[in-house]
Amino acid sequence: MKKPLCLLYSIIFMILMMRVPCAETPEKILSALKEKMSPWVKLPPDHLTSLQYNLDINGVSKHIEVVKGKQNDSVFYWRGISLYTGLEQILDSPDSYELSFEEKPDVLILNAKKKENTHTIIAGNGVSDSWTGYFSSGVSESSITIRKDNLLPVKENSGATEFAFSDWLEVKTGRWVPQKIDINNGDMVFNMRFRWLNEGLWIRRSGV
């Protein structure tokens, strides 16, 4: 009886070790996150040089044209919505932060404190002069809650703002985008919904 029990315990131990990246550093976890979320955080994709769409805000439609390097070439126009999270900035420049993480039963909490100054988080339903609600806030520290089983973020807390990421879609093997981001900043709440275009672009579907 001892051998089967030993084998069972060994299998359980191996499974737990696979699920819990306890030996990983914050930098390695961020590197894995950046790879997984590259279709979302890397905009525009290299192959796409222009984009046209109609932005519908509160029943009003506005035609948007984006041309790489020439016209409306900002992440907000490529996404069809004003959104800039702390997570994106941490992934883009991890060396600018003091990084640490806490382990919980099902999640990792990654803490990132800006070494100098602050980073600015932005959320607004619309782009440029088409907003129905907008805020920006400078914060010096963000915490990212990440699921252990798939290393995808669940939420971000940056100052008084919470970003909740859900309804993840695997658009390529090992590459994911969130189809829902709910943002809470006191009295200001946004429920943003996104879609994946065949052209390889993550863009706003709707927002209230």
- Per domain, the residue ranges of the chain are 25-207
Query: What per-residue confidence (pLDDT) applies to 3?
Result: 52
Mean pLDDT, 10 residues at a time, the chain of 208 residues: 50 43 74 90 85 82 90 91 93 94 93 94 84 88 95 95 96 94 92 88 79
DSSP state letters, 150-198: T--EEEEEETTEEEEEEEEEEEETTEEEEEEEEEEETTEEEEEEEEEET
pLDDT at res. 207: 61
pTM (predicted TM-score)? 0.83
Q: What is the pLDDT of residue 68?
A: 92
H-only helix segments in the chain: 2-19, 26-36, 38-41, 75-79, 86-92
CA 8/CA 60 separation, integer angstroms: 62
Q: How confident is the model at residue 16, as a pLDDT?
A: 41
